[in-house]
Chain A
Amino acid sequence: MLKLPIYLDHNATTPMDPRVLEAMIPYFVENFGNAASRNHSFGWQAEEAVDYAREQVAQLIGADPKEIIFTSGATEGDNLGIKGVYEMYASKGNHIITCTTEHKAVLDTCKHLEKLGAEVTYLEVQPDGLVDLKQLEAAMKPTTILVAIMYANNEIGVVQPVKEISAIAKKHGALFFTDAVQAVGKIPVDVIADGIDIMAFTAHKMYGPKGVGALYVRRKNPRVKVTAQVDGGGHERGMRSGTLNVPGIVGFGKACELSRLEMAADTERISKLRDKLENALKQIDESYVNGNPAHRLPHVSNISFKYVEGEGLMMGFNKDIALSSGSACTSASLEPSYVLKALGLGDDLAHSSLRFGLGRYTTEEQIDFTIKAVTDTVLKLREMSPLWEMFKEGIDIDAIQWAHH
């Protein structure tokens, strides 16, 4: 029996794997020690658990455990990574390069630094969502201290050419930071092979608990340091003070281990389901897949259904299917997705988009149900859409003088 509602919003968050919960449970009531307590067994037990988790996390990304700084999540990691480099390397320069499709945690951090005197270049992306390497190269300056480009995009799932980007940064003596929230645990990420200097990621996007994440900070070639943004007891090699969230960290470690062991099998299964969904929905007239299809996360599909509005579309099935839209009406700002607009999509296509994010527990039955529900609703709403009628009559909608309100 198909159980409703169906969850297809795994880019927002993932359910916790029961095996992760099981690993965490002893660290709430029984082994509750503070990992920084050096003088008794409660502290030692907690420290041992954190050390083990640190290894599990490091192993997933090819890092040394000493290079893992635990945080409260990727927003904190983005802040610490970018602000920490800006402060630490102030004598070297003040120029940061990022791109327009970054997460707000990166963009708003950069805006904050601009107020403090940073010079920030926001690279435009190409229509497929990828950064143009020539543009990046041209933007590099002697004062560039940091290139901050995400590993994979949260809305359209495109995977940036991280190796090439990090090589350009290195060539010009700048550090490379990446927000890898959507990539780690989903596709192979290797900090050595990818040339990453600093990387933020989080547990809850990979079947771990919310409220815990990590910042990878390279220790060799080059040795990177970030200035702490929270002052206190000097935890995490002085870069992030605050009592460690031991159960969360234990869960994060377990989630990393499971992802490492099961990634290949998960990817094979989930990408087949994603392709089935996408191929079926592409059969609908005037539907467009957003983002480069060859360089994309295996579980994500972002599709615009022209002439129907995203929120109206979701209303047709949102009691049964949970997903998200780039439509303005789903945001408080009434502006459609800035990521889709950055691809050069017209506002009308940005308003008409749905993001499907599949996950570890997505079944073929759920995908079949989704294909039917989305197709039926698109067709129903088009019968109700004046734009669809005009399109069918051959009227050029772009040529109409619309009264903007």
Chain B
Amino acid sequence: MAYSDKVIDHYSNPKNVGTLDKSSKSVGTGLVGAPECGDVMRLQIEVDQATGIITDAKFKTFGCGSAIASSSLATEWLKGKTVDEAVKIDNMDLVEELNLPPVKIHCSVLAEDAIKAAINDFRVKNGLTELVFEQSHV
């Protein structure tokens, strides 16, 4: 199976690899997947409390090239968005942008789940209730 150029580009030059301070109140962390399933994503957002805008996003991913590319692209999309806008990122947008084949759609689902988990972590830390999400498109 050949990878799309965009997947190869994100894999070779991943954007926003790293770690934010997970104890900070302005940082939300989402850790999804499982080692036994062959992919684990950790995605973090840093939110400007006053504006609700995501000022920074970082990821670390254990997984195949498509999982790495999905999380790298997700962090790029998150930066500059408000939390409310970020909630609306759909896994199928990642699939389309990266041209993922059907067998790799679960990588994009994982990235969407990681975004939502990070947002909920941020909300809980700041005294808000967790959002309840529908199932993503698998």
Contact = CB atoms under 8 A, between A and B. Distances in A.
B19 A389 contact: yes
Nearest to B113: A405
A25 interface: no
Interface in A356-405: 383-389, 397, 402-405
Interface stretch (B37-45, B86-94, B125-133): B37-45
A129 B64 CA distance: 27
A264 interface: no
B74 interface: no
Contact of B62 (A334, A386, A405): A386
B42 A386 contact: yes
Contacts of B8: 315
Contacts of A405: 32-34, 37, 106, 109-110, 113
A127 B34 CA distance: 24
Contacts of B42: 386
A397 B35 contact: yes
Contacts of A308: 62
A348 B8 CA distance: 24
B60 interface: yes
A311 interface: yes
Contacts of A404: 34, 36-37
A351 interface: yes
Contacts of B34: 402-405
B67 A312 contact: yes
A370 B18 CA distance: 28
A389 B64 contact: no
A42 B64 CA distance: 55
B52 interface: no
A347 B36 contact: yes
Nearest to B104: A329
Contacts of A336: 38
A311 B65 contact: yes
A138 interface: no
Nearest to B17: A384
Interface string A318-350: 000000000111001010100000000011100
B95 interface: no
A47 interface: no
Given A307-B62, A332-B103, A389-B60, A384 B68 contact: yes
Contacts of B64: 309, 311-312, 315, 327, 329
B38 A328 contact: yes
A189 B108 CA distance: 49
Nearest to A312: B64
Contacts of B63: 309, 312, 329
Contact of A386 (B40, B103, B109): B40
A336 B63 CA distance: 13
Q: What is the size category of the interface that chain A forms with chain B? A: 20 to 34
Contact of B35 (A327, A334, A351): A351
B14 interface: yes
B31 interface: yes
A309 B66 CA distance: 12
B67 to A, nearest CB: 7
B3 interface: yes
A384 B14 contact: yes
Nearest to A316: B11
B75 interface: no
A379 to B, nearest CB: 13
B120 interface: no
Interface string A247-274: 0000000000000000000000000000
A260 B36 CA distance: 43
Interface string B92-121: 000000000001001001100100000000
B40 A387 contact: yes
Contact of A348 (B36, B41, B60, B103): B36
A384 B106 CA distance: 19
Q: Which of B36, B41, B62, B103 has the most CB of A within 10 A?
A: B62
B38 A386 contact: no
Given A312-B67, A312-B68, A405-B33, A386 B61 contact: yes
Given A332-B103, A336-B38, A315 B62 contact: no
12 contacts: A308-B62, A309-B64, A329-B38, A329-B63, A334-B38, A346-B36, A351-B38, A384-B68, A385-B40, A386-B40, A386-B41, A402-B34
The 10 A-B pairs at the shortest CB distance, nearest first, are namely A402-B34, A347-B36, A348-B35, A386-B42, A311-B64, A386-B60, A315-B65, A351-B38, A329-B64, A385-B62
Interface of A: 307-309, 311-312, 315-316, 327-329, 332, 334, 336, 346-348, 351, 383-389, 397, 402-405
Interface of B: 3, 8, 11, 14, 17, 19, 31-42, 60-65, 67-68, 103, 106, 109-110, 113
Given A315-B3, A389-B19, 14 more contacts: A309-B38, A309-B63, A311-B38, A312-B11, A327-B64, A328-B38, A334-B38, A334-B103, A347-B38, A384-B14, A384-B17, A385-B40, A386-B60, A387-B35
